[in-house]
Chains A and B, each alone.
Chain A
């Protein structure tokens, strides 16, 4: 039986250049049918509201229509870039998000790998179920727990360290600005590892079991299997998620930093989204808030497409 492609190819070559495009379109009509509705949908719900970006170039007041406002050009952007605080929060944001990115793409995978090595079905399923529970506990509760644990007034961590004679006096963990980023990252790791590992588990379960069997025959041990089969097997998923996540480095929300923070570490805890809230919407400065939003979006898109370009250059594949 001749492979389909050759027949197709000859058909295509017979067609005229101009109608090649339309021919193909008809040929792929099902694919179009499956996708065009969503294109329309995303245009309506994601692209149409972009008119709101015009607000950033005005002194927007909600009572008038969008074209009925006072135009101020780049004034808000200039104000943003000349604010010292902006650079401070930007630094904090990037610091914590890069740390978070690294942790959330290593620890959950290691966790998933270990989970797969567990033989007992019941134990495996239980641990997996337990591991994602913290994801559902709100940050308000988690921040309270962490603060209590790190407290000098009977907090568990200090008690443990003192009983092991590692320190003489309790450490005021939450007061140390330089440690704040690590505290946030570790808290996040504890809270989200289980949940984040789910997707890697799914990817791992899609790997052909025959590959494992074949490697056993070749005498491969556990680690070699992990290194040569499992990890490469989830490579695509990993790369896609990683690169797409790079786009989120700038807008990481502010809930956990706000709840874990306090006045003593404020120089390390305030992030861009909190700044946008405090100086934008809360003061009814919609234009300023929108300007920050535009900045966020532009930077995010630049980051993602740059990361993708690098990826393309190195591996000849593309995530997008």
Chain B
């Protein structure tokens, strides 16, 4: 009898499973495995182009890929006849995915290889796009404009292998980084001056002394850092250069005049920053679990409203902040400040880079019809194409009212609250596969190309934000930072985009320095103040022993090469 019931239960369970799955997928309306490759030709449409199915391999996993079933996807299919089948690295790394491609010498039509370009170029897998662009792609030329020279591969090889997908002339409208303090702390202390680490520290100390526990008796934490996982770079070490007047050049500091590079930890100013963190730990303001907590733990501490201060980027703690907002606890969310070590430094977060020319898309030698593909990419880069992939279809995803593009409320709601469904059903955000303008650039109708623009920022601020901003006399957090043009543009773009030669000795040394840093920096911060210098000296010595001088020399060479290349 028991056996029978078990059998029955399991069959029922299996049926439920099948039922729910079938329901779920049909609700989303997508179950198509492959669109008929040859039958799509527009019947009766005399200008409908011949259909072609192409393969794209992307190194960045895109969960909301819609397989051309979204509104935009279908539009593109009709207009260009092209159907894209996309591959992503699932669970494995993108390095593996492209390595196997090279080993088997079989390539899809298009690739977005991220940092693996060098491998593909070595293997001769990518086509030189320069002649194709010259002949068939006027829009690409237009968008890249004077930055076209930044797409050039190297000194000896002036081919263009990848079209960079970064937005041209991109502007930032708000600051997501810096140092964070809860609004309630600022309010209680009367919105004191917030410029240096001392200001920051005093605010935390004063508030903590007065309010050591929350209403439910939970202890408050002064400052908690996200240092237990890879984010140690974001929350612990990057702020060291931001607070001491250097821009983000990866793990290095580049002297703007001589173009010499050193690992940024080797700067004496940064030693003092870490000394300050050590001091914070010594007086009990630093969360002792900063370097052992998992990301989930960090988020849940923030979401409980007990953490007074953070040093992080907004996307890293956004999930936790959203949780607070959902509960209406806006005064426990955070304000951002460009804190520096002392008054002599300024935060260089926004120091210009010109066009970054980072990761992009390339056409491989196995492509069925390169000319058609470059024309396709050209279409996406045209004004019509860019508006399509950013805004969507007129009448469906936006309306033009008095000449201005406006997003209807229901679409906007879906976008804010249900990002994945939004992407999948509309397709917005899935087709940024070609050259494009960044935020802040206007098109021929006077509207912005993208859907991020300054007026929007205000709508995203809560009451608490507005109060704090008003108290400091600004309307966005970014205004607290130095202006975009306060510092000269870096001639090499951003140093973190410089790729190491695959398998080079410098790359190995770099990895070693990262391992050393992960051990020594927490050690230096958590030791006694008397011991700090000893540990930091040991850290620098470890770097030397690992070959940091060679690494610096190599990186300097890379920077100089880049400057030469881009000034042609």
Contact = CB atoms under 8 A, between A and B. Distances in A.
A and B pair up: yes
Interface of A: 59, 61-63, 85, 143-144, 147-148, 151-153, 172, 174-175, 262-267, 270, 278-279, 281-286
A4 B232 CA distance: 74
Contacts of B519: 263, 266-267
Contacts, number: 90
B297 A262 contact: no
B208 to A, nearest CB: 15
Interface in B503-521: 503, 507-508, 511-512, 515, 518-519, 521
15 contacts: A62-B123, A63-B123, A144-B297, A147-B292, A151-B289, A172-B292, A174-B292, A262-B228, A263-B291, A264-B526, A266-B515, A266-B518, A267-B519, A270-B515, A283-B507
A62 B99 contact: yes
A281 B293 contact: no
B227 A263 contact: yes
B119 A284 contact: yes
Interface of B: 93, 95-96, 99, 102-103, 105, 119, 122-124, 221, 227-229, 232, 287-289, 291-294, 296-297, 301, 502-503, 507-508, 511-512, 515, 518-519, 521-523, 526
Nearest to A148: B297
Given A153-B289, A262-B228, A284-B503, A144 B119 contact: no
Contact of A152 (B105, B229, B289, B507): B289
Given A282-B93, A284-B119, A284-B502, A263 B293 contact: no
A263 B95 contact: no
Nearest to A287: B503
A140 to B, nearest CB: 9
Given A263-B518, A278-B511, A281-B96, 19 more contacts: A61-B122, A62-B102, A147-B297, A148-B297, A151-B289, A152-B288, A152-B289, A153-B287, A153-B289, A153-B297, A153-B301, A172-B288, A262-B229, A262-B292, A264-B291, A264-B522, A270-B515, A281-B95, A285-B503
B538 to A, nearest CB: 13
Given A63-B102, A264-B292, A266-B519, A284 B123 contact: no
Decide if the interface of chain B is mainly helix, strand, loop or mixed. Answer: helix
B349 to A, nearest CB: 25
A117 to B, nearest CB: 23
Q: Which 7 A-B pairs have the closest CB atoms?
A: A63-B123, A62-B102, A174-B292, A62-B103, A284-B502, A262-B228, A262-B292
A263 B228 CA distance: 6
Given A263-B519, A263-B522, A267-B519, A283 B511 contact: yes
B5 to A, nearest CB: 14
Contact of B294 (A85, A144, A267): A144
B231 to A, nearest CB: 11
B3 to A, nearest CB: 13
B502 to A, nearest CB: 4
Contacts of A144: 294, 296-297
A262 B519 CA distance: 9
B73 to A, nearest CB: 33
A265 B227 CA distance: 13
B292 A59 contact: no
A279 B513 CA distance: 12
A85 B507 contact: no
B232 A263 contact: yes
B278 to A, nearest CB: 15
A144 B295 CA distance: 9
A30 B176 CA distance: 73
Most buried by B among A172, A175, A281, A284: A284
Contacts of A284: 95, 99, 119, 502-503
B232 to A, nearest CB: 6
Contact of A279 (B228, B294, B508, B521): B508
